[in-house]
Amino acid sequence: MRRVSIAPIKDRLQRLAVLVQSLGHKKAAPEVREELKDDRAEDLADNIARMDTEDAVALLQAMDVIQAGNVMVELPTETAREIVDELPDDVVASYLDVLPMDDAIDLREEVGEERFEALLEIIPDEDAAEIRRLLAYPEDSVGRLITEHFFSVTPEMTVKDILKDLRQAGDEKYETVNDIYVLNEYGYLVGVTSLRRVLRVPQSTQVKEIMRTDPVSVTATLDEESAARMMARYGFYALPVLDEEGRMVGLFTGDDAQTILREAETEDVLAVSAVSGDAEPYYSLSPWDLYKRRFPWLAALFVAETLTGAVMRHYAGANNELQINPLMFFIPLVIGAGGNSGAQVTTTITRALALDEVKTGDVFAVMGKEVLVALMVGTSLGLLGFGRAFFGWGTGMELSLVVGFALPAIVIWATTIGSVLPLAAKRFGVDPAVMSAPFITTFVDATGLIIYFQIALMLMHK
């Protein structure tokens, strides 16, 4: 397994960014391109996402255009949007020109529809026409992810013809040659064979003698996740995509399928812990982004948890026949909010650790961001709790203030523990996914009660 040391890449990028700023794009470009020529786009994007926008823009303009385009596709959406806003049209158009068409379409979200259409007027007509063909398919359909550069032959072609085509083809002619698709004269998919089979038979053999006549395929309008799961089911490297009449229009490749499934599974995992939004890298999300992803669900759970307090108030009766201390009515509310917010954080950090977006040494950076998010979430929940207690249930001012102050305090405490726990577990060789969520719930229940009652002792005079 290839292991990448992130720190050296980050140090090199910072040094190169300073070089570009001092010498200018054109003068620094040769050194930048030479030093980064062997680095993968994914590794570069992971580090560029953590740089200042100004440095990132300067560095991308000095990089090889193909490498820079691939880096742009790998960047988180929000980061890429900030960068392309600072890049001139001719530079962004050069990325569209060199990228595979499905990757070029990915930039449409960052660039904006109006500017994207203007950029299509700059790139070659052939590339612009291919992009427009893909955009004609429904959003989130597999048709938007296809490549039209697939290896197709006719049933009557011989193995000799295939090998001659392969030898003469340029590097960009075919996306992949593992599978060879057999089309009739009208473009309908009638069979498929593999390069392995082609190499094992005499060169005089016709394709129709070695092809399978039952190829698995999907229609271009099928949603991308269903297509990706079908590819995973059969273990294919690529999947032929047909139009509604059965003509082959493109190829859905394994790298796109892998990305779709990873994002879908990540979103499902986050949704279990009441975190909404797309599967963006952790460091690309600002505290405000994290707040927007978490607070709506916490507010919904908060409302649901008020039902428990309502049940307790009902059985206590108007005259409090059961002699329940009014403080008890709000325990499910404040403890539930702490446990839910802590679970959100542990799930988010555990996911980031699994995808290598966060390192165990990032504990202070993670804590700083999460405490800021907790301040926003806790303050919002505190206001909701105070309003529910004072205006909704007619609770006195003192107890309402206890609830209003206890909620942010417990949320901040739960978030702090929730952000450190997965990192500590990883550091000591324990799987964070196994122990973080159950432990945070139990721990916050106990410590949250201490915080709640201590605040009550300080604020209540009776």
Strands 179-183 and 189-194: antiparallel
User: CA 384, 386, 391, 395: dihedral to nearest 10 degrees?
Assistant: 140
The number of beta carbons lying within 10 Å of the beta carbon of residue 148 is 16
Asked if 99 and 69 touch (Cβ cutoff 8 Å), the reply is yes
Dihedral sign, CA of 55, 56, 57, 60? positive
CA 44 to CA 67: how far, in whole Å?
Answer: 9
Report DSSP letters for 4-22, one per residue.
Answer: --HHHHHHHHHHHHHHHHH
∠ CA 36-37-38, nearest 5°, is 95
pLDDT tens track for 46-91: 888 878 888 888 888 888 888 888 888 888 777 888 888 888 888 8
- Tokens, residue 252: 């859905």
∠ CA 259-262-264, nearest 5°, is 105
HSE, side-chain direction, 13 A CA sphere, residue 8? 6
Those residues whose C-beta lies under 8 Å from the C-beta of residue 296, and which sit 6 or more positions away, are: 276
* CATH numbers and ranges of domains, the chain: 6-136 (1.25.60.10), 152-253 (3.10.580.10), 273-459 (1.10.357.20)
- Tokens, residue 89: 């049209």
pLDDT one digit per residue (tens) for the chain, 462 residues: 344 444 567 677 777 777 777 766 777 788 888 888 888 888 888 888 878 888 888 888 888 888 888 888 888 777 888 888 888 888 888 888 888 777 788 788 788 888 888 888 888 888 888 888 888 898 889 998 888 888 899 999 999 999 998 888 877 778 788 889 999 999 999 999 998 999 999 999 999 999 999 889 999 999 999 999 998 888 888 899 999 888 999 999 888 888 888 877 777 666 666 566 666 777 777 888 888 888 888 888 777 777 776 777 666 665 555 566 778 888 888 888 888 888 888 888 888 887 777 887 788 888 888 899 999 998 998 898 888 888 877 778 888 898 889 999 999 998 888 888 888 888 887 777 766 666 777 788 888 889 988 998 888 765
- Tokens, residue 364: 């202070």
pLDDT tens track for 141-175: 999 888 888 889 999 999 999 999 888 887 777 87
Asked if 437 and 447 touch (Cβ cutoff 8 Å), the reply is no
Angle, in degrees to the nearest 10, between helices 41-48 and 53-62 = 150
The residue whose two tokens read 């979200």 is 109
CA 169 to CA 459: how far, in whole Å?
Answer: 79
pLDDT tens track for 80-139: 888 888 888 888 888 888 887 777 887 887 888 888 888 888 888 888 888 888 888 988
Those residues whose C-beta lies under 8 Å from the C-beta of residue 315, and which sit 6 or more positions away, are: 322, 324
CA 149 to CA 274: how far, in whole Å?
Answer: 41
DSSP structural state of residue 122: T
CA 104 to CA 393: how far, in whole Å?
Answer: 56
Report DSSP letters for 420-434, one per residue.
Answer: HHHHHHHHTT--HHH
